[in-house]
Structure 1
């Protein structure tokens, strides 16, 4: 197969499996928010935020290191893989052992003293996922995209199935007859903990499916641990942890920190965290589109970089990216009366954060486009500094805004962070890799979207229009304006 066609097909497989998987996991949100109180769902949001940080930390950037040294030819691929796998098994095994031994003190520190088991359950999930990351990296290196995607989807399917089994079937059976076969599998004392147990079982199944790859790393021919190679891989890989941690700070720190920054008692803080986290999920369409664009866009930008009209095409890509993101923004905000049923009634007081979070994610998508300046010019260290400054802004804004404005402040912290990162990346890009972006048109579309959103609020609240009718009219206005201003550019390439 032509190398470019193979790259495109594998990108589609990896991208679709991740996007479909993430979308399916989002479909669990109605199950949780219609079943559990906001304070209980806040526990899930909090621990998954911790898991986001641990997932970056406990892989140590060794996936990237594996690709680098496997392709470098300095050591045989089995030696590189064995070194990475054994490193991850030892490190994550030690982490899990510490979590088991210290579960009660850690639970006390995190204000979950009544459920120390959450600590080791979550630690086990992270440890299994971190070891599995090495096996997935090997599948990618060996061009086994379908096996990669299949295992991912099986894991996700198992997680969803077990959630439905425990939280829906077993809980309902318990309420009808606690002594029934299924009813005995539901323990009210565990409650929200079944979310972690389902994930733990799914992660264990994934490791079993990856056993052939992991076995080769432990007992296969040529599977030797190379101490010198280990030192070199770690030196190469650890900077990736810094970049990854900065990204996680920008994406997930709010859900980890809200409990400690909100000015209420612990129970109220957890309820507020649950409400905010559930409403955060309503930005799913924007998030999924940006993730899909990352998978397709990065190889496209690199592949097209040497073409004469590359910069003009990149500018056109950003223009149409923003047009589509504003469409998503309007789709969700103008029809929010319908989208609100994605979460339970107890969570809907937080819907006011949805437009802010959608706008923040739109800016994140613009940043992804603009970031080609450091990727195409090998200035990744400067790109890391942009991410670190963004993380600093996130921390500062959360600390300043959340105690005063509650979870609304967390949404605005996202917006402040990504606004600054867009500005920094655009200015640095003009210096190191100038692309003729039409920023007037880009921000003109964003202003148009905000104007139509405001008009929709005015039509429904002041004039009493039906929300669906007002939203449909304004969506048609937007599409008509796009057709007039940019419709021809969709079919005519720039000169």
Structure 2
């Protein structure tokens, strides 16, 4: 199969499961924002931010290490898989026990002394998800995208269904009759914590569904291989941790950096986090591309036209991302209903966050230079510089500009990482990226967004009409500039 078709096919399958599944999951955002006050929703955003940091550490970068050493052919795939799986089982088991014992002191430290159960619920979710991730990596390496998609959808469906069950069904049953069978399942003191309960149950269901992928893995552990795996993978922890700083530190730190009282800070965190979810289309596409792209880049690296193919992939990736950017920003009058009315004051950060996500996606493409040349330490350096920029700008801008400062910190950080990665890639793994074409598409997207806003505000056009015209212009440009070129190239071949 044509490599681009194969990558597109795999991305589509991962994308269907990711987009449809995560769309179901993100439907919880309007449900939760209509069900809880911003300060209560801020608690969920805060804990998931902490979990994002810990998830990177608990994976030890071994997912990428698994793909790398599986593709070399120096060890049997089962040996690589078993070595990774057994180590993650041990390390995550110890982590869960430690947080179970220390749950109350940690809850006190995080200013949630009345809810130590939040700590061990989140610890259990993290441990189960880390172990499940290696089983998902095995499915991806074996090109079993459909099996991957089915399990993902079932997990997300369970999470959404259980959340609705506890917070809607049981809550209403409690309000009608606290002594009823369903009413007894609702404990008002837990409140928004039922989000964690539902997630924990869904993670358990996922691990049961993935149990066939664990067969044979527990019998093998190669100490020599483990040494090489961990040396390759640990810099990926730095990269991943730095990436989480860039992606989630704002939500972990806003309640401490905003210049208001604790309740108001949590409310602003809830507003920002809810509006952040409006970048769902872009983030889902990037996630689906990552699932398909990482094994593709490794497996295709030895082909004679690999670098030209990678450049073409970036072109079409950017076209898709700019399209998604326009879908959201041009039709914000529709997307605003995704969040409750109390949260809509933060909608002005959405275009900035979408552009930041676009830069992150470009960086994902460019990062092949350090993965394919085993220069993961240099890759870690890029991520650390990005993290430094994020931390500096958050501490500088958030106290002055509020959560708007956090959104701009994202954009500056990811833009800087794209620039650094491109320069290093030119030195260590040159790919003939069409930089002018990529920048032109990004500029076109921003220009059409600003132009549609001008038509609406200055000329009085209806927002949907102005947005529809801008989208039509973009599609015509893509058709004439790139679809036509691709068709002519196939005809010549």
Query: What TM-score comes out, normalization by structure 1 length?
Result: 0.88
Moved more, 166-175 or 147-156: 147-156
1:170-194 per-position Cα deviation (integer Å, ceiling 9, x unaligned): 1222233333332222222111000
Give matches, 1:157-168, under 5 Å: 157-168=157-168
Contact 2:356 2:411 in 1 (8 A): yes
Contact 1:103 1:120 in 2 (8 A): yes
Q: Which residue of 1 aligns with 2:454?
A: 458
Quickly say closer, same or farther: Cα 1:239–1:300, change in 2 above 3 A: closer
Contact 2:14 2:292 in 1 (8 A): no
Q: Which residue of 1 aligns with 2:92?
A: 92
Contact 2:4 2:313 in 1 (8 A): no
Contact 1:394 1:414 in 2 (8 A): yes
Q: Which residue of 1 aligns with 2:60?
A: 60
Out of 259, 266, 271, which is 1:270 matched to? 266
- How much has 1:275 moved relative to structure 2? 0.7
Out of 294, 317, 324, which is 1:321 matched to? 317
Tell me if 1:365 matches 2:325: no
- How much has 1:295 moved relative to structure 2? 3.8
- How much has 1:89 moved relative to structure 2? 3.0
Q: Which residue of 1 aligns with 2:201?
A: 201
Contact 1:282 1:339 in 2 (8 A): yes
Give matches, 1:87-236, under 5 Å: 87-139=87-139, 145-214=145-214, 216-217=216-217, 223=219, 230-236=226-232
Quickly say closer, same or farther: Cα 1:360–1:213, change in 2 above 3 A: closer
Quickly say closer, same or farther: Cα 1:139–1:328, change in 2 above 3 A: closer
SS at match of 2:489: coil
Unaligned runs of 5+ in 2: none
Q: How many Å separate the matches in 1 of 2:324 and 2:73?
A: 45
- How much has 1:312 moved relative to structure 2? 5.0
- How much has 1:115 moved relative to structure 2? 1.3
Quickly say closer, same or farther: Cα 1:406–1:142, change in 2 above 3 A: same
- How much has 1:2 moved relative to structure 2? 12
- How much has 1:477 moved relative to structure 2? 2.9
1:380-416 per-position Cα deviation (integer Å, ceiling 9, x unaligned): 4333322221122112111211111111111101100
- How much has 1:231 moved relative to structure 2? 4.7
Moved more, 41-50 or 467-476: 467-476
- How much has 1:259 moved relative to structure 2? 1.4
Q: How many Å separate the matches in 1 of 2:425 and 2:205?
A: 45
Unaligned runs of 5+ in 1: none
CA RMSD of superposed structures (Å): 3.2
Name the count of aligned residue pairs: 491
Contact 1:19 1:291 in 2 (8 A): no
- How much has 1:357 moved relative to structure 2? 0.5
Contact 2:173 2:182 in 1 (8 A): yes
Moved more, 4-13 or 407-416: 4-13
Quickly say closer, same or farther: Cα 1:305–1:229, change in 2 above 3 A: closer
Quickly say closer, same or farther: Cα 1:455–1:307, change in 2 above 3 A: same
Give matches, 1:256-405, under 5 Å: 256-298=252-294, 301=297, 311-405=307-401
Tell me if 1:416 matches 2:412: yes
Moved more, 45-54 or 420-429: 420-429
Quickly say closer, same or farther: Cα 1:15–1:354, change in 2 above 3 A: closer
Q: Which residue of 2 aligns with 1:33?
A: 33
SS at match of 2:170: helix
Quickly say closer, same or farther: Cα 1:288–1:143, change in 2 above 3 A: closer
- How much has 1:418 moved relative to structure 2? 1.1
